[in-house]
Chains A and B, each alone.
Chain A
Amino acid sequence: MFADWPLLSLVVWLPIIGGAAVLLSGDKGGSEGSRRLALIISIATFVLSLGLYTNFDSATSAMQFEERFEWIGDFNIYYHLGVDGISMPLIILTTFTTILVILAGWEVIQKRASQYMAAFLIMEGLMNGVFSALDSMFFYVFWEAMLIPMFVIIGVWGGPNRVYATIKFFIYTFFGSVFMLVAMIYMYYQSGSFAILDMHNLKLGITEQTLIFFAFLAAFAVKVPMWPVHTWLPDAHVEAPTGGSVILAAIMLKIGGYGFIRFALPITPDASMSYDWLIIGMSLIAVVYIGFVALVQSDMKKLVAYSSIAHMGFVTLGLFSVYQILNNPANTDITGAVLAIEGAMVQMISHGFISGAMFLMIGVLYDRMHSREIADYGGVVNTMPIFAAFAVFFAMSNAGLPGTSGFVGEFMVILAVFKANFWIAFLAATTLILGAAYTLWMVKRVFYGEVTNEKVKALQDLNQRELLIMSILAVAVLALGLYPAPLVDVMHASVDNLLQHIAQSKLP
């Protein structure tokens, strides 16, 4: 299906152009039309992105579906798209999540609904662009442009403190990325090309590598976000509308992890090796310390936001533990390293589903009660039994229950890290306890016990639209948890190839 279509261009531009159309459709005379149009466009994009999966050749690590045209000839910048096994699943995650976000905002967003829908569609296209761009400047354009719709989403449809949160979000991420821009320009003069794959083959001295590595770190660590540059995330999440939180947690954070995989590790492997202790340290702090921070939150969204930081700590931990694994004399082959990176990837996809589900759940409650405080709830299971069942399920998967997708990624990473260093693995494994503690404790306080107040008593259970969203996500979480092989298979060749770059010194 669609085998000879320019699929990548379509998944990038269809939502953007469609978003513009939705924007033009306007809100005069009801927003029903723009909502429908947005839904149709998002579903069409998702179907097209499935074409990427069905036509994907998982035997090769080469870029597939490549499209390359000259864009700015004088600067050697190309319109260059292509995916491998690492970026393709992330694109499908993006197109999938966008449908849910559009559905989730269906009745809730009454203020300027067409602008809301359009912003999410444009975001979708830009994020697909980030995952598929193979020219670093093209990548950078998407990477930065993405901030504009998110800025508007949080600022217009967010909570009371939205202006502070959204400006903080923008400045933090902008701060990180401009240094990456300078690094890219520098590498352009070294390699003569802005192509990412040419940069992978670039020889750089250790000083250059270190500086470039820190420029990348500034950009990607803010996005992931890693401790100590995570502070924008709880603010942004708390103030963002439900859809904004879902996109932030499910996809935007993944872009940071993707950046490490695509840029930092293969371009500056020697610097990454010298500073892997730093990243591992920051990741462990994220896992353990942020886990404790999550435990004491009284605001549900904040709690899930902190839990996101902790879970993303696993991603960076998995990615940067490869050097320890490769350098450990006990390991004779690279299977441990492969496991670590694939674990990080699975964790990213799985966290996309689970965090999306968690924020949607909070959205369901918030739409009814207009409160995110845990203390305002209690005994919700009595009035919303179906919803409570879903909530418990997603909470379990957030805590990493075997059989759900949350377990697979974390387990793979912990297993791999054991091959590096017992104590790192030991500390990382505490997340299974902490994660269970903060998630289940929240569920207990919100859902169980006696009905605490009149408002809870008056709650209505899920409507069909919400039920549909929850069921789709539950199926996704279960499917990935029980049978992750299709996902792991498509990325296998690409991860092997990535390891070739990571393991090989780029010193001249």
Chain B
Amino acid sequence: MTLEMLNLSIAIPELFLLALACTVLVVDVYLKDESRNVTYVLSQIGLIITLVLISQQSPESRELAFNGLFVNDFLATVLKYSVVLLVAIVFVYSRQYLQDRNIFKGEFYVLGLFGLLGMMVMISSNHFLSMYLGLELLSLSLYAMVAFDRDNPNAAESAMKYFVLGAIASGMLLYGMSMVYGMTGSLNIVEVAVALDKMEGNNIVLIFGLVFMVIGLSFKLGAVPFHMWIPDVYHGSPTTVTSYIATAPKVAGFAMVIRLLAESMGSLQADWQGMFIIMAVLSMILGNVIAIAQTNLKRLLAYSTISHVGFIMLGLLAGNQEGYSAAMFYTLTYALMSLGGFGVIILLTRKGFEADNIDDLKGLNQRSPWFAFMMLIIVFSMAGVPPTVGFWAKLAVLKAVVNIDMLWLALVAVFFSIIGIFYYLRIVKLMYFDEAVDTNDIHCSRDMQLALSANGISVLVLGLYPAALMSICIAAFA
């Protein structure tokens, strides 16, 4: 194999990130506890450089590297840019939270960076193997991050659950891949697609392989009936880890679905569409209905995630360019809203107080009108009320569904979003209509305040002017 076939230049951001993660790991060993900030600053600077490196890559067309294991295209560039940005903001949100709990350790950032690397590999993979490698790198980092607060029994329990269920799901995925390999003779996504195109008739083994792969994917996305881990993991993890899990990995999961189902198994679209319809409808029903009964804010947001996954699947199942770009728009904006939602929870926490009960939001408008307003925007965006970006995400998805003549599915979706609006309104009610119980001042660092404000404002600004992001999403699938 020559160096040209490796084509390393298109993987520079990943290579840099790998070097960064290793450097942070080594540097951190030599740091005293009081100078742990160095780790944080080093990671953030590294992430900024990664962002710059990604934006330097401007692929005109698909470029392959590592002998076809790795692909770089416009879609990959956009998604990578978003995950790096999301992780960088999660790191901003995390610093004070970790300090307050005496778990401000370098490992958090090292694991976060390795997880990010896993996501970037997933986004850029052109091969079942590299996809699986990326996924495992991400998952293993996440399992450890969930258990990061190791003295907390809830966290340990969640990590255990997550690990067991995650390992089963990965196994399913791998099993499905092996069946597909058996039928097509290749693990390369492009070659699989070519082989499937030539194949005729209904192939039972292939369908089995597809089913296993869809199960693995749905688990990672968190669609009903493979959603069980979401509420527990969201609830049990330290909130910063929840905000990590709830944002960037969803984007990576979206990329996984696109690469594995849309790009390689496009010709079996009719088969996986049926499964997606059922899971999408179930997710919207279960997510929205069960969220109503939640009193824990993190669990509530977990169920709301499930319902949003249902919407993302609506876009994916349309199976055309319009649907994929709608799903991409939805995923990116959802990650943004979710980041803001957990950001507000982190904002309200302080030493010895978790603020994860929905009653902890009571009277937020009295305590901090500005951040109550940010949360108002985020919550209405999740509910899909204009002029926030959540509305455009829902509109894009509904449009895609109506265009493939599945009007009934659009009606089901809007119906359950009406049910969903109730618990979002309850959050607004607590913040605005109720008197504050907890009258402690909200104190948090300036960088966190700035990041959270930018987060909330961007939800509104993207709602007023969604055209730019929308055309990026459309261009990604052009």
Any B CB within 8 A of the CB of A441: no
- Please classify how large the interface on chain B is, using the bins under 10, 10 to 19, 20 to 34, 35 or more: 35 or more
Bitwise, A366-410 to B at CB < 8 A (1) or not (0) is 000000000000000000000000000000000000000000000
Any B CB within 8 A of the CB of A109: no
Any B CB within 8 A of the CB of A140: yes
The reply to whether A182 and B433 contact each other, CB–CB distance below 8 Å, is no
Bitwise, B435-478 to A at CB < 8 A (1) or not (0) is 00000000000000000000000000000011100110010000
Any A CB within 8 A of the CB of B164: no
The reply to whether A155 and B418 contact each other, CB–CB distance below 8 Å, is no
The reply to whether A178 and B418 contact each other, CB–CB distance below 8 Å, is yes
The reply to whether B402 and A140 contact each other, CB–CB distance below 8 Å, is no
Given known contacts A145-B385, A167-B422, A185-B399, A162 and B433 CB-to-CB distance under 8 angstroms: yes
The reply to whether B402 and A182 contact each other, CB–CB distance below 8 Å, is yes
Report the bound CA distance from A139 to B20 in whole Å.
49
The reply to whether A74 and B398 contact each other, CB–CB distance below 8 Å, is no
The reply to whether B421 and A174 contact each other, CB–CB distance below 8 Å, is yes
A/B pair count, beta carbons within 8 Å: 91
The reply to whether A171 and B398 contact each other, CB–CB distance below 8 Å, is no
The reply to whether B414 and A75 contact each other, CB–CB distance below 8 Å, is no
The listed residue (B395, B398, B414, B471) touching A73 by CB distance below 8 A is B471
The reply to whether A140 and B467 contact each other, CB–CB distance below 8 Å, is no
Which residues 143-158 of A sit at the B interface, judged by CB distance below 8 A?
A: 144-145, 147-148, 151-152, 155-156
Chain B residues with Cβ under 8 A from A115's Cβ? 369
Any B CB within 8 A of the CB of A188: yes
Report the bound CA distance from A170 to B383 in whole Å.
12
Report the bound CA distance from A179 to B402 in whole Å.
13
Any A CB within 8 A of the CB of B270: no
Stretch at the interface among B95-103, B219-227, B335-343, B403-411: B403-411
Given known contacts A71-B467, A74-B474, A152-B432, A182 and B386 CB-to-CB distance under 8 angstroms: no
Given known contacts A115-B369, A148-B385, A75 and B422 CB-to-CB distance under 8 angstroms: no
Report the bound CA distance from A470 to B171 in whole Å.
75
The reply to whether B467 and A186 contact each other, CB–CB distance below 8 Å, is no
Any A CB within 8 A of the CB of B239: no
The reply to whether B470 and A75 contact each other, CB–CB distance below 8 Å, is yes
The reply to whether A140 and B386 contact each other, CB–CB distance below 8 Å, is yes
Any A CB within 8 A of the CB of B275: no
Bitwise, A98-139 to B at CB < 8 A (1) or not (0) is 000000000000001001000000000000000000000100
The reply to whether B429 and A182 contact each other, CB–CB distance below 8 Å, is no
The reply to whether B474 and A182 contact each other, CB–CB distance below 8 Å, is no
The reply to whether A182 and B410 contact each other, CB–CB distance below 8 Å, is yes
26 example contacts (A-B, Cβ-Cβ < 8 A) are as follows A72-B467, A75-B470, A137-B395, A140-B386, A141-B391, A144-B385, A144-B386, A151-B425, A151-B428, A156-B432, A163-B433, A167-B422, A167-B429, A171-B421, A171-B425, A174-B385, A174-B418, A178-B414, A178-B415, A178-B418, A182-B398, A182-B407, A182-B410, A188-B399, A189-B402, A189-B403
Residues of B within 8 A of A (CB): 365, 369, 376, 380, 385-387, 391-392, 395-396, 398-399, 402-403, 407, 410-411, 414-415, 417-418, 421-422, 425-426, 428-429, 432-433, 465-467, 470-471, 474
Ranked 4 nearest A-B pairs via Cβ = A178-B414, A141-B386, A72-B467, A155-B433
Other than the given A152-B432, A171-B425, A178-B418, 7 more pairs (CB < 8 A) read A26-B369, A145-B387, A162-B433, A179-B411, A181-B414, A185-B402, A189-B402
